[in-house]
Homo-oligomer: A and B are copies of this chain.
Amino acid sequence: MAHNPARPYLHIDYTNMLAQNIGAEHGITQPEWDGIKPALMQAHSRLKAKRAEGKLPFMDLPYQSDSAAQIRKLADELSGQFDQALVLGIGGSALGPMTLHQALNPAGYNMLDRKSRKYPQIFFNDNVDPDDLHHLLQLIDPKRCLLVVVTKSGSTTETMSSFLILHEIWINALGKDKYTRQVVAVTDPAKGDLRKLAQAEGFRTLDILPGVGGRFSVFTPVGLFPAAMAGIDIAELLAGAAAMDEIFQQDTPEKNPALTCAGLQYLADTAKSLPISVVMPYSSQLRLLTDWFVQLWAESLGKKHDLQGRQVNVGPTPLSAVGTTDQHSQLQLFMEGPCDKLIAFIRIEEFANPMPIKTGFSAYESLSYLSGHTLAELINAEQTATALALANNGRPNYTISLPRLDAFTLGQLLQLLMLQTAVAGELYGINTYDQPGVEEGKQATYALMGRAGHEEKRRQIEQALKQRVRAIV
């Protein structure tokens, strides 16, 4: 596809995946790659056809510039009125906006004064840990804090439990009439209890496009509204995602990063005995991106049944790591443990602040060689060194390289990972977009919490607990 030469594009280096370079036991041979190519191209055609039928609305999100402009407008209006925003959401309703915020805003953003950050403080609550919520409330003044509640179904237990607690606190602080102007509900345009509640109370609302699941929702208001409230250039994010989507139109797998990565990942899991898929950015600002990817990959591909209803129990296990930090933690296992991991590095070629290391200390042999270098050089030298050391030990890895970290390149990266997941789902032959395995735990929670209609389930649980052989130490 036509790159705009004035803009930075990511690329993938998979040299350390090739059997010619790392050996055939875990490296991919030419016949193996040639073998997977037809399946990749079929997957690509099927996705194009489904998209044309309107069945993959997440793929069109990068082009929703009108909606982004409205979000920008609302966020600018509200960020002028409030000093704080508290986002309630869990899973896909939190990981997307948290990833954007960490990647594109400085660490310690909330500790900067308003003049430096320009936009409100942003807090996220993505669990029902009662102490954690108690601590969070010590930092928040309901009178100047916008409450953003995000649940697609409108009834997510964790999000709505926290909301019920906060709702009362906001009413007590502001009064029943005024508080409603300080709540934004991000939910399905028509269905669910949060939508009804929003209509009854008069909250502002933003719609999540039906058909876009939580883990693919980063470019809906779920991700974009909190990002816009934190001053992130959401138009640039979408431009980056659109740039990746344009490249994705390319039919040749070797010219299409999402097809290439999906093919490498699928071969690694199914043909090369590498069921664990590590994502390891050399960037502290991309820590949460690994959690976002873990949800995307685990929940999309970890499935009991294939599309024909056969029991398959498939799905690679995604694993987070961060360089250089995890060189002092997980790397020993990656290097010497069972060869069961594919490692996808992410690196940033040019950091905004290279941080030169002081010249001097010539008396100390372990320090003197660092003089005159920068931290930016060091972190990237360590990435190169680690990738090479793994390859020298026959351990496959590839590197996603971002020219720099900004909204445009991050948009590309997120879109790449979502497209890669869609392609991989086609290769595994499963439903990429459901999550039936979490239903049983939800029903059991309802039963334990006494939700009407779950009395029989509760009796079953109590009986099961009684009948078990107990083992305690």
Contact = CB atoms under 8 A, between A and B. Distances in A.
A471 B255 CA distance: 11
Interface string A335-364: 111111100000000011111111001001
B351 A158 contact: no
Interface in A101-128: 106-108, 110-112, 116, 126-128
26 contacts: A13-B471, A15-B470, A90-B324, A91-B327, A127-B324, A129-B351, A131-B283, A158-B324, A160-B366, A161-B378, A164-B367, A168-B358, A192-B366, A294-B329, A299-B333, A304-B335, A304-B336, A314-B338, A315-B336, A319-B319, A332-B435, A381-B449, A384-B444, A389-B440, A389-B441, A389-B444
A135 interface: yes
A327 B438 CA distance: 7
A358 B167 CA distance: 9
A391 B260 CA distance: 38
A469 to B, nearest CB: 5
Q: Which of A255, A329, A465, A470 lies at the interface centre, i.e. has the most chain B CB atoms within 10 A of its CB?
A: A329
A433 B90 CA distance: 38
Interface stretch (A36-44, A73-81, A230-238, A369-377): A369-377
Interface in A407-447: 435-438, 440-442, 444-447
Given A111-B111, A132-B285, A452-B369, A214 B328 contact: yes
Given A324-B128, A366-B160, A298 B437 contact: no
Contacts of A334: 302, 437
A20 B257 CA distance: 48
A162 interface: yes
Given A14-B471, A329-B294, A367-B155, A375 B335 contact: no
Contacts of A446: 369
B107 A135 contact: yes
- Copy tally for this chain in the complex stands at 2
A156 B366 CA distance: 8
Contact of A18 (B11, B294, B370, B471): B471
Chain A, interface size category, equals: 35 or more
Contacts of A110: 111
A21 B448 CA distance: 20
Contacts of A240: none
A367 B282 CA distance: 43
A193 B367 contact: yes
A106 B464 CA distance: 38
B388 A461 contact: yes
B91 A441 contact: no
A139 B106 CA distance: 10
